[in-house]
Chains A and B, each alone.
Chain A
Amino acid sequence: MENLLSNVDWLEIGWASWDTLVMVGLSLLFSVLIGLPLGVLLFLTGKRQLLEQPMAYAVLSFVVNVLRSVPFIILLIVMIPVTVMIIGTSLGVAGAIPPLVAGGAPFFARLVETSLREVDRGIIEATQAMGATVRQIIFGALLPEALPGIIAGITVTAITLVSYAAMSGVVGGGGLGDLAIRFGYQRFQTDVMVITVALLVVFVQLLQMAGDRLVTYFSRR
């Protein structure tokens, strides 16, 4: 046993896990803060929707598609100047957050748009017939009705961000991915690699379980 995990520095692993948690947590927070309004806007400006705006929809949709089609590893590099501008550095945990948000927010926005489209049109019509404003329709009917779908979207986004965060180790992002690359890959310490991957698997499992529970709790169907 001693020999099997001889390269593993548990304190290092602990810090790296903490860094991953912080990266995923903060980038998830900002992805939701940006992606939710963006998704609502995508939905509202879409075809035959409350605020149909073909031009606005086309522009928003294009930006989201571009961000989503760039492979994350490329986005990490392309975002470096922007990150330096916002954070002051492109390294470490803080430096990883802007590219993570750039990848996570548009992804989440699409998921929000989809779950809003799932809401029965009849409910929007009924709310309109009650004399609701667009704002009241969004906050009183659309978002509460789409809540289970939005929570499922947050879960999927969080899991995507876990794997993105691991990737950010390549450009010096910190966290478990960084550890796996520096020790597991570059120094051929297979045991470190195995432990980090195992921790990531556990992390993803926990996220999915928590997400599923919340979805069940908020589904009244």
Chain B
Amino acid sequence: MIEFDQVQKSYEVGGRAIPALKATSMTVAAGEVFGIVGHSGAGKSTLVRLINLLERPTGGRILIDGENVTDYNAEQLRGFRRKVGMIFQHFNLLSSKTVADNIAFPMKLAGIYSRQQIRDRVDELLARVGLSDHASKYPSQLSGGQKQRVGIARALACRPSILLCDEATSALDPQTTQSVLRLLADINRELGLTIVLITHEMDVVRRVCDRVAVMDAGEVVELGAVSDVFLHPEHPTTRDFVFESENIDRDELQEDLSHAEGRILRLTFRGESTYKPLLGKVARESGVDFSILSGRIDHIKDTPYGQLTLSLVGGDLDIAMAALKAADVHVEVLR
């Protein structure tokens, strides 16, 4: 469990303190995939580096499994860092070492593993990330996705309990992003590892995260379960991210809505209700006619969801609303 207790960080620039992270308190539960989303410069990079103290906080405490790591001395800090894996946007592999040697590197640094242990662990990890055939290649001979897999294997070498991902998929193409995210999700499930992932893409959060914190100007402006934050964003920044990830142009949307007749509702289905043949039934029972203005069915991590924007004309609107709500559909009246 990672607890932030009034943690803040500011940088000294020309004698003035510029805040990068305003006092923040939050908790990341053990075993969850926690996303931090924000535009560049929002402070998410600082936040993730505070966890393994690559950045020292200028105030507050960081507790990992109840221990205040900000109090650690140099030796304790190094021991702690071995239990926290980290992967990076630009992979940061050593170009002078082979794939196998890159993965073995953190184990060698730790100085507590035998040669045989290192060799076995490297083989196991290579197999886990699907790179057994590439053990003696150099990073320059690999594709971006393969490099990130090496990065992941390296981060897991010393069996960490926390994995930090710093824009781990931002330099990858969509397909490779997909497969790297799947690997992260699998690892989270198999090893029960806590993953803290920072990204500027809401889509990454939607696919793998359990909970998400949205950051803006050095502050966490919204925090909650991904499905809540994603389907019912409150803060303007969160809304921007959600619209962006759904490729919705807000002006265009307003334009479309202004042409529609009657009431406009947005329905959000989650889980099982996504697949139920609900609309026809409601229309028959209440006598309303509806047209679909926009819609989308997708997944948030493993949960299916659907979101429909409808315009309703005629019939008994109250009965329709009641029927929808009774079927566990979230109804929002847009007009």
The reply to whether the CB of B109 lies closer than 8 angstroms to some CB of chain A is yes
**Chain A, 117-134, contact with B by CB distance < 8 Å: what is the 0/1 string?**
000101101111111110
Residues of B within 8 A of A145 (CB): 94-96
A141–B52 alpha-carbon span in the complex (Å)? 19
How many residues on the A side are at the interface (Cβ–Cβ under 8 A)?
21
Residues of A within 8 A of B94 (CB): 123, 141, 144-145
Partner of B52 from the list A129, A133, A136, A221 (CB cut-off 8 Å) is A129
The reply to whether the CB of A220 lies closer than 8 angstroms to some CB of chain B is yes
The reply to whether the CB of A140 lies closer than 8 angstroms to some CB of chain B is yes
The reply to whether the CB of B106 lies closer than 8 angstroms to some CB of chain A is yes
A133 touches B86 (CB 8 A): no
Partner of A130 from the list B88, B96, B105 (CB cut-off 8 Å) is B105
Residues of A within 8 A of B79 (CB): 131
**Chain B, 229-252, contact with A by CB distance < 8 Å: what is the 0/1 string?**
000000000000000000000000
The reply to whether the CB of A204 lies closer than 8 angstroms to some CB of chain B is no
How many residues on the B side are at the interface (Cβ–Cβ under 8 A)?
28
Residues of B within 8 A of A128 (CB): 54, 81
Residues of A within 8 A of B139 (CB): 220
A144: min CB distance to chain B, Å: 4
B110 touches A131 (CB 8 A): yes
**Chain A, 127-163, contact with B by CB distance < 8 Å: what is the 0/1 string?**
1111111001000110011010000000000000000
B109 touches A120 (CB 8 A): no
A123 touches B92 (CB 8 A): yes
Residues of A within 8 A of B106 (CB): 130-131
Residues of B within 8 A of A141 (CB): 94
The reply to whether the CB of B118 lies closer than 8 angstroms to some CB of chain A is no
B92 touches A120 (CB 8 A): yes
B109 touches A140 (CB 8 A): yes
The reply to whether the CB of A188 lies closer than 8 angstroms to some CB of chain B is no
A80–B178 alpha-carbon span in the complex (Å)? 69
The reply to whether the CB of A18 lies closer than 8 angstroms to some CB of chain B is no
The reply to whether the CB of A62 lies closer than 8 angstroms to some CB of chain B is no
Shortest 8 CB-CB contacts between residues of A and residues of B: A131-B81, A126-B92, A122-B92, A131-B78, A130-B106, A220-B138, A144-B96, A131-B82
B interface residue numbers (CB < 8 A to A): 52, 54, 77-82, 84, 86, 88, 90, 92-97, 105-106, 108-110, 138-140, 158, 164
> Could you list 13 further interchain pairs (A-B, Cβ under 8 angstroms) beyond the known A126-B86, A131-B110?
A123-B92, A123-B94, A126-B93, A129-B52, A129-B81, A129-B84, A131-B106, A133-B78, A136-B109, A141-B94, A144-B96, A220-B96, A221-B140
What would be 6 A-B contacts, judged by CB atoms less than 8 Å apart? A123-B94, A129-B52, A129-B81, A131-B80, A132-B78, A220-B96
